[in-house]
Amino acid sequence: MLLTIERPFATVGLEQMYATGYGTHPLRSGRRVLPLGRLVVVLLLALAVSVGLAVVAHGGTAPVYSTVVVQPGDTLWSIAAEHYPSDDVRARVQDIESANGLGGPIIQVGETLRLPA
């Protein structure tokens, strides 16, 4: 059966496909994937997705901190202003308080504070 303008969707017979160089069998390898192999692939894929989602939900890597030892006359405000000159000092004071588990701005001389990056 020939493809013509009148019959653009005519089916091609197997003989014509074979004669034009197309095989009559679909292109597949001789190997078959066993159901156990499929299960392993699916489980590995599910594990990879789960680990990826856990890393995203956890926030990725651990936060990076630098430390400073409190000197006489230091306050959280002065430490935040010195170490973060271009940032909002109020926000950085809160960051330092939360990074060190402080309930307020009271700090002691000699105390080591973690400063968020």
Token pair in block for residue 110: 């000699």
Which pLDDT value is given to residue 67?
94
Average pLDDT in the chain: 81
Query: Angle at Cα 85 formed by Cα 80 and Cα 87, nearest 5°?
Result: 80
| Domains of the chain by residue range | 33-61, 65-116
Please state, in angstroms and rounded to a whole number, the distance separating the CA atoms of residues 18 and 25.
Answer: 10
Mind listing the pLDDT tens digit for each residue in 11-67? 555 555 555 555 555 555 566 667 888 889 999 999 999 988 887 787 767 778 899
pTM of the model: 0.49
CATH code for residues 65-116? 3.10.350.10
E strand or H helix that includes residue 5: none
